[in-house]
A = this chain, B = another copy of it.
Amino acid sequence: MQQQPMLEILAHSPWFSSLPETLAAELVSLCKLKTLADQQVLHKKNDLADGFVCVLSGRIRISNYTLQGKELILTWMQPGNWFGEISLLDGQPRTHDAHTEGKTVILKLSAGAFHTMLRNNNQWYAHFSRLLCQRVRASFSQIDETGCLSLTGQLCKRLLLLQQGLESEHCVNSQNKLRISQDALAQLIHSSRQTVNKILQDLRVKGLIDLKYRKIQLLDRDKLAELSRI
């Protein structure tokens, strides 16, 4: 991957952009570029932590499986997103599976390099703490959402969040459309494909979104946000 586009992707992460220059530079310089094919496993739940990762292109699905084998999607890590710090920071195993979706390029900092870096620079803990705080806050929001929003509300909220994530990507790929199946959305909000379809049709009729095969375009974000207020 060329230097310039990589820096642009990195710059679109609010967390990464907030880092002091020295930390940002050291972080990137210690990382290795890796290219993964579609549906590769980065790690499974309960694995020991092997590193800290940033997605550069493609997408990584973060999910768990129930005893019955149903997949529960927590989120997708999109270009610019960093993840994997939890297991590194508390020494406990991974909380979720991580699978690529499509050809995916990542930056990876090995566990060893991560710990060496932190040991030599205690003051940088502050920045990883902030990343953890973001995760807690996002999780709290999600708990509130599932507690008091209808599935319509939850779906609107998730569509908005996915779109936000995509926009780090410079709208290059998909003319600003979300590329995602209705099935996957159902797994995200713990619902069924049929119900998601019904909700999406309803939103389309109301003019809030446009629907294509495996593509969703958000047309009226204010209304969508209104439907997902808590």
Which chain A residues have a beta carbon within 8 Å of chain B's beta carbons?
Answer: 64, 66-67, 70, 72, 74, 86, 89-90, 92, 95-96, 118, 122-123, 125-126, 128-130, 132-137, 139-140, 142-144, 146-148, 190, 229-230
Contact = CB atoms under 8 A, between A and B. Distances in A.
A146 B148 contact: no
Contact of A66 (B70, B132, B148): B148
Most buried by B among A90, A96, A147, A148: A147
B140 A74 contact: yes
B137 A95 contact: yes
Given A89-B133, A129-B129, 15 more contacts: A70-B148, A74-B140, A86-B136, A86-B137, A89-B129, A90-B129, A90-B137, A95-B140, A122-B122, A122-B125, A122-B126, A132-B132, A139-B140, A143-B146, A146-B146
A161 to B, nearest CB: 14
B74 A143 contact: yes
Nearest first, the 4 A-B pairs at minimum CB distance are A125-B125, A139-B139, A122-B122, A90-B133
A229 B229 CA distance: 32
A152 to B, nearest CB: 15
Contact of A230 (B67, B89, B129): B67
A123 B143 CA distance: 32
B148 A72 contact: yes
B229 A67 contact: yes
Contacts of A142: 139, 143
A132 B122 contact: no
A190 B86 contact: no
A83 B82 CA distance: 26
Contact of A130 (B70, B89, B122): B89
Contact of A135 (B95, B136, B144): B136
A144 B64 contact: yes
Nearest to A191: B147
A190 B95 CA distance: 24
A132 to B, nearest CB: 4
10 contacts: A70-B148, A89-B132, A92-B133, A96-B140, A122-B126, A125-B125, A125-B129, A128-B129, A132-B136, A146-B190
